[in-house]
Chain A
């Protein structure tokens, strides 16, 4: 399943430009500790988090993640979206909680 399909099925808001979203989603990881995400996420994962500062992009880039989903309607710091577009990282958001969106993504990818 691609990021675009996940966006449609889960009704996610797309904060970056749409053409960056055709990466294949291989799984998901929900955590706000960057070192834990560095240690345990894998290529193609969607990362569900409430951390919205720009260091999340370095983590996503380093681990070749498919994208980042910000939860509870949190909006990222200003410069992040432009940088994410340049780096081709899909940045998404949802008004739902980490628990709820993780469950839905799990069901979708299962």
Chain B
């Protein structure tokens, strides 16, 4: 049994690999469940990590997602190498998307990803450099309420 007080694990994400897309988030959900985290917090963390993972799959060349736990918080951080986001304020608006038609036909790219992360996380920080990449800092307080 892993300890929830000093947990840290990093996962590699390949850009445009739709076959494996979502598998890291499923993995993260299983880990949090196994660590005995409150179900509602697990649900919120799973949604946020899925949306972030899909953003890297859809837009970036590659990226890394790290899950860390301490007695107070779950922290999910992501770093990608990709096109970056020109205007974060606009990207955070519900319905705004830069997805291709092909991606949208699959039911992705509805412009809900970043708003979904914001809605479910207790802290969500996004930093981006155009032409280089984007980083995410997503935090869940372990003493917070389960569902949003």
Contacts A62-B26, A62-B29; A35 near B19 (Cβ below 8 A): no
A-contact bits for B88-105, CB 8 A (1 contact / 0 none): 000000000000000000
Residues of A within 8 A of B19 (CB): 54
Q: Which of B23, B29, B50, B106 contacts A38 (CB 8 A)?
A: B50
B-contact bits for A44-67, CB 8 A (1 contact / 0 none): 000001010111001101110000
Q: SS class of chain A's interface: helix, strand, loop or mixed?
A: helix
Residues of A within 8 A of B110 (CB): 33-36
Residues of A within 8 A of B29 (CB): 62
Given the complex of chains A and B, what is the CA–CA distance between A34 and B113 in angstroms? 10
A-contact bits for B108-125, CB 8 A (1 contact / 0 none): 101011001001000000
- The reply to whether B22 and A39 form a contact with Cβ atoms under 8 Å apart is no
- How many chain-B residues does the 8 Å CB contact rule pick out? 22
Cβ of A32 within 8 Å of any chain B Cβ, yes or no, is yes
- The reply to whether B107 and A51 form a contact with Cβ atoms under 8 Å apart is yes
Cβ of B13 within 8 Å of any chain A Cβ, yes or no, is no
**Complex: chain A residue closest to B110, CB-CB:** A33
B-contact bits for A78-91, CB 8 A (1 contact / 0 none): 00000000000000
Find the residue from A36, A38, A39 having the highest chain B CB count within 10 A. Answer: A38
- Can you offer 10 A-B residue contacts whose CB atoms are under 8 A? A34-B54, A34-B106, A35-B51, A35-B108, A39-B116, A53-B106, A54-B19, A58-B50, A62-B22, A62-B29
